[in-house]
Structure 1
């Protein structure tokens, strides 16, 4: 199936951060994010979700290496890896395999901060989704969204790209749950997708997923995707204010332009979105960024890492997520990552991890 990209994520900006190992609290409003960090936003709902299970959240949050006071304000900033650890602990404490879904269910379009407000004042659903994809980097530098269209269907995809991220399946569940909430806020509570694709093992109880998404849910997929009618992109958003939209767009432009972006992180985000589409060669990425291939290589080497090394890092991360969180066959994972044969993927994975993918999956490494 050929899917044509409508919009790709815009590059984000970064700032210096501490390497002390202590939880970092950055002023949430008016600041851009360092790579690997995320505004709490949707994740602020983790604490009340834990309470719903009778679990006191503060000890769990501390065990994840975070200060519970951070969760008092959704604009506070935490490392994306700490979010993954917190979700892993939350699933264990509650014994709920769909904990991430419950977190996303509680969140609203306003949980997406300034980007959510821009979506509310976009002219059409298509404009709102493009705003989300283009600007999520001011709120989240651990995952990347994309929007594509093929025939009569639109595809909203959400992919975790931070290396060694735990609970990528929980993050994907919650992210699609809040994205559906956001679309329903814009189009009406009656809105439903055509189907949902999730990169996670089929749960014993599928009903919570069907109940929230109100659509067929397919598990053991390569990516987290909301599939919906492409015609819905033209739906107009009631109450959208053009003046507020212009003000929000200007503020977001200021945030993006406030500080220089970390180029290698921008490449990682682009690769995570495109690696499974066979449009991710160095020439492809250079063309996308309107620069010469040699300029791309020079800028990456200036940051201490070449294009091939970054590509392999992202391939390893995708492979880890699919091996850990799904039962997708090795041949399918190999093809998705651009390998002509499963044996070539096996050799590459052994170089990266010291183990074959079959052994790695059997040993049940933490996500």
Structure 2
């Protein structure tokens, strides 16, 4: 089965037919029906397999479940022999998106894997160009459109972004936290679904479709092999529906927050606030990465304190404050635990400049 799956949201307060929670807008089902009509085929069978009542197509506020979206997508891809479901000027035969994943899986890092994925996507679907760009600490996956996709535009652009993001998360076995999402169309009536489709601030009416994230994710090594790929291809829905709990960049993000904001990171609440997560989520994700907030705090404070003691003339009190300690006594006590010496003894024994 292919990697491609059209968008399916996975959380909503509304139930649907006992198949899970309904969060996917009916607009995306309407787009699939439009593709059927484009190919001169009847969507009735696919709608029946997904248990989607035809009357729902006329209700702009209707929602379906992720399972329903999976079923109608699978049926449509096979019946139309087009994994792109009519988005492009030519069909993408069954297995096309799986081929993109297979071409990327041998890369050593996510950056090379995504570069390959984007390049090969242009070979099979020249109607759009998907490109990976980096600038400073920011990475962007951007879509450039080369033709008018009409009624399928939203469905195409959002599906491609969700698909490449899902593949990227799967390749490194990590949640990739988005900074923001740009979409080049006006906010639709179902805009509320976007808070589920993309867990990040979404801006409509932009120049191009794009997702923006921390460039450090690109340095992560791939954690999947050919055997994992074969298993994933049998059920690709989690790529576009389930959110990864693990964030392999979190340890680095916590370290950066501790380094850049020592006075605001005395406790988990302060660190969590800077990273826009709850303290509970922060502790859980660090535990999944084999780390703890206290260990990271000790490491960062120790490195910062040693650097200041060896390179500067700052008094011990100022070193303690700059290293993130609330008072000099707690700093001296912690430093002696780390090194077996007081800060003053460490500075003196290592030939560093004495305090002024």
Scaled by the length of structure 2, the TM-score of the pair is 0.41
TM-score, normalised to structure 1, is: 0.40
Which structure would you say has the larger Rg?
2
